[in-house]
Structure 1
Amino acid sequence: MLTDPLFYLCAIPAVLLYGIAKGGFGGNVAIVSVPLMALVMSPQQAAAILLPILCVMDLVALRTFRGRWHRENLRILIPAALFGVLLGALSFRLLSDAHIQLLIGLIAVVFTLNYWLRRGEPSVRGVDRLRGGFWGAVAGFTSFGIHAGGPPVNVYLLPQRLDKTLLMGTIAVFFAVVNLAKLPAYVYLGQFDTSNLLASLVLLPLAPIGVRLGFWMLQHSNEQLIYRLCYLFLMITGLRLLYQGVSELLLF
């Protein structure tokens, strides 16, 4: 794999895109990383290669956004997400990637259409324990298999209209905890073999580059643009996942 040019053609942009999203620019664009790498390997192997890299990106993002996160939201989201990760681990052998892709895609498309088709400026929602608990659990569950927890957590956070840096810092802390919680389960399920870990090591230097680039882009764009991009990428992601999920199910 490490001598195949196609591997690097897909893996390098996939890692950089994830880093840019971790740095705060583009939001859900990171969700294309696993499908991009899946062009040259299985989605499970792509997810296993990416997870150690994501954990390093999380450390860079935490340092980048240090102290700029919404603690009240995190107190609701994180316990729920850990429960979702546990469900994801227990159902790993039962649910296919296609079913998870359909679930996330449907959530993302419906939520974005609801935002776009509403007349006037949508009302701002505050912190909500029930909504946060539900979407946090969904994010933890969908993040486990294909690192696709972004759309569910954005469904909860975007309507709050937080400051752009506060929003991205909150998301950074959330996924730092979620990704760390996924590591023991990935080890138990045998996802980390020598080949996957070596590929992660080779791609690792791209992690801080992507995060820093994303943070620079975040600081040099206005808040309205960031939110518009988040909703746009949420819709693109949703449509892509719906198409991919339906295609895979039809193949069976």
Structure 2
Amino acid sequence: MIIDPFFYLCAVPAILIFGMAKGGFGGGIAVVSVPLMSLAISPIQAAAILLPILLVMDAVALWSFRGQWDRPNIKILLPGAVIGIVLGSIGFRYLSEDMIRILIGVIAVLFCLNYWFKPSSAKAQGVSIIRGGFWGAVAGFTSFGIHAGGPPVNMYLLPQRLEKSLLMGTMAIFFAVVNVIKLIPYSLQGSFDHTNLLTAAVLMPVAPVGVRLGFYLLHKVSEKTIYRICYFFLFIVGIKLLFDGGQGAWSTYF
């Protein structure tokens, strides 16, 4: 089990933030979790520790949003996600930890910039097999490696302007299935060793607290305020990971 206090200083808020997103508060802010944990451990280990915890969050989210999901979108997104997971299981093994840090940093920074500068759409978009399949595959790929499937799925679902509970229920179904599928390649790659499983077990009680906290804050605190804070810190963490990954890659290859 990991005993480094700095790791838990990063991991506990990371899991709380992920849980809040699962609970319907903050949506895409879950992308901050692996980058935050990557400040203390490798991104690969952070993803392995998080996956069992995410399954607990998924169970709570499924119960909370039971019966509220959009069937046509799920039918389109999931096949693409399976393709993305397969590609991720093949591709991520060829990336060094520094390259993964750079990848996470790029995703984090671009997601922040997209949030801050994206234009508002004047017309709601409809269901699309092409767009849904593409963003589902991207979500499966990024979700496999760093549990960052939220931004790609948001890029497909948010322009549809679904009712809030329907949106969150669709996300809950999608990621519950995706995370269960990810257990197969994670197990085959030996990600669930004793250290990772014991550490996940210690952190497990934080998961339902985060989900319930998300439900509570959804009605008590300005979502815009929380978004601003989370995206600011996500941007800072992304820049830090880009710096660390770039520095490591430079020393390795040059």
Greater shift, 128-137 or 87-96, is seen at 87-96
Rate the CA distance shift 1:53–1:137 in 2: closer, same or farther, 3 A. Answer: same
Match of 1:249 among 246, 249, 253: 246
- Identity, % of aligned pairs? 52
Contact 1:111 1:155 (8 Å CA) reproduced = no
Rate the CA distance shift 1:42–1:217 in 2: closer, same or farther, 3 A. Answer: same
DSSP 3-state at the match of 2:67: coil
Structure 1 vs Structure 2 CA RMSD: 2.6
Q: CA deviation at 1:60?
A: 0.8
Paired residue type of 2:189: L
Rate the CA distance shift 1:161–1:237 in 2: closer, same or farther, 3 A. Answer: farther
Q: Matched residues in 2 for 1:236 and 1:11: separation?
A: 15
Q: Matched residues in 2 for 1:10 and 1:226: separation?
A: 22
1:100 and 2:103 matched: yes
Paired residue type of 1:104: I
Rate the CA distance shift 1:226–1:76 in 2: closer, same or farther, 3 A. Answer: farther
Q: Which residue of 1 aligns with 2:7?
A: 7
Q: Matched residues in 1 for 2:225 and 2:165: separation?
A: 15
Rate the CA distance shift 1:134–1:83 in 2: closer, same or farther, 3 A. Answer: same
DSSP 3-state at the match of 2:39: coil
Paired residue type of 1:93: R
- Within a 5 Å distance, the mapping from 1:123-202 to structure 2 comes to 123-202=123-202
- Count of aligned residue pairs for this structure pair: 246
Rate the CA distance shift 1:140–1:230 in 2: closer, same or farther, 3 A. Answer: farther
Q: Which residue of 2 aligns with 1:204?
A: 204
Q: CA deviation at 1:2?
A: 4.1
Q: Matched residues in 2 for 1:235 and 1:129: separation?
A: 34
DSSP 3-state at the match of 1:68: coil
Q: CA deviation at 1:175?
A: 0.7
Contact 2:109 2:234 (8 Å CA) reproduced = no
Rate the CA distance shift 1:28–1:237 in 2: closer, same or farther, 3 A. Answer: farther
Paired residue type of 1:29: I
Q: Which residue of 1 aligns with 2:22?
A: 22
Contact 1:101 1:242 (8 Å CA) reproduced = no
Identify unmatched segments of 5+ residues in structure 1: none
Identify unmatched segments of 5+ residues in structure 2: 250-254
Paired residue type of 2:24: G
Contact 1:97 1:245 (8 Å CA) reproduced = no
1:61-101 Cα offsets, whole Å, 9 max, x none, are 00110011111111100110011001000112123314533
Q: Which residue of 2 aligns with 1:51?
A: 51
1:206-248 Cα offsets, whole Å, 9 max, x none, are 1111112212333557xxx758977996787577546633651
Rate the CA distance shift 1:239–1:77 in 2: closer, same or farther, 3 A. Answer: farther
Q: CA deviation at 1:192?
A: 0.8
Rate the CA distance shift 1:2–1:110 in 2: closer, same or farther, 3 A. Answer: closer
Q: CA deviation at 1:203?
A: 0.9
Paired residue type of 1:217: L
Contact 1:108 1:152 (8 Å CA) reproduced = no
DSSP 3-state at the match of 1:78: helix
DSSP 3-state at the match of 1:45: helix
- Within a 5 Å distance, the mapping from 1:66-81 to structure 2 comes to 66-81=66-81
DSSP 3-state at the match of 1:125: coil
Q: Matched residues in 1 for 2:145 and 2:69: separation?
A: 26
